Amino acid sequence: MDETQPTQQTQSGQAHAFSLPNLLTYFRILAVPLMVLFFYMESTASRWLSFAIFIAATISDFFDGYLARAWQQQSALGRMLDPIADKLLVATALLLLVSDGTIANWSVLAAIVILLREISVSGLREFLAEVRVSVPVTTLAKWKTTMQMIAIGFLLAGPAGDKLMRYYLQDFGLFTYVGLLLLWISALITVYTGYDYFRAGLRHVMGNEP
């Protein structure tokens, strides 16, 4: 038995822990409390900062996966933290927007649908991982995620964006209206993709697939 193998694996794991793709994932996790901090400062400038942090974190989500594949720096740590970072970012942003009334009334239902899907799909993914079954992400699901992030971005800018647009469109709250419209479209697509995902997963749960 090669006694140097565990040491080499440990060194490789440590190297991957500080690779750029993983550093981007760490940034996304650290962005969550920063986004909350600026959101609750309740000024136009801080609202834009909260928006900017969310957008930067969203962009980093694309690059960490792309670079990990391109540079062959995929790691178990990255696979574990990446979905956690995504869900923390989305769930926190939606809760903030509901708490200050940007998402209100019936639109809260759209936020709940998105959150329920995130939680339930995570549970299904965990089960399927145990039985070594992979359900690929569909193109429609990727579009849903993109639209969902754009919607949250518009809503985080919210009053700050609406205030900016008043110089051109008087009292029409363009940012908030666009954000809520995209949020509802995302929620509707979420219902469809969530059903499709569970239908594929339940075949394995019920033993209809090997």
Residues 56 and 108 in one domain: no
User: What is the DSSP code string of the chain?
Assistant: --THHHHHHHHHHHHHHTSHHHHHHHHHHHHHHHHHHHHTT-SHHHHHHHHHHHHHHHHHHHHHHHHHHHTT---HHHHHHHHHHHHHHHHHHHHHHHHTTSS-TTHHHHHHHHHHHHHHHHHHHHHHHHTT---PPPHHHHHHHHHHHHHHHHHHHHHHHHHHHHHHHTT--HHHHHHHHHHHHHHHHHHHHHHHHHHHHHHHHTT---
Of 111 and 158, the one with more pLDDT: 111
> Would residue 90 count as lying in a domain?
no
> Would residue 34 count as lying in a domain?
yes
> pLDDT, tens digit, for every residue of 89-107?
999 999 999 998 999 999 9
Mean pLDDT of the chain: 80
Residues 42 and 137 in one domain: no
Instruction: Categorize the per-residue pLDDT at 5 as very low, low, confident or very high, splitting at 50, 70 and 90.
Output: very low
Residues 115 and 59 in one domain: no
Q: Domain total for the chain?
A: 2
Residues 63 and 119 in one domain: no
pLDDT of residue 192: 84
> pLDDT, tens digit, for every residue of 125-167?
766 666 666 666 778 888 888 999 999 999 998 888 877 766 5
Residues 40 and 120 in one domain: no
Residues 76 and 24 in one domain: yes
Q: Please give the residue range of the domain that contains residue 205.
A: 101-210
Residues 66 and 161 in one domain: no
Residues 194 and 117 in one domain: yes
> Would residue 79 count as lying in a domain?
yes
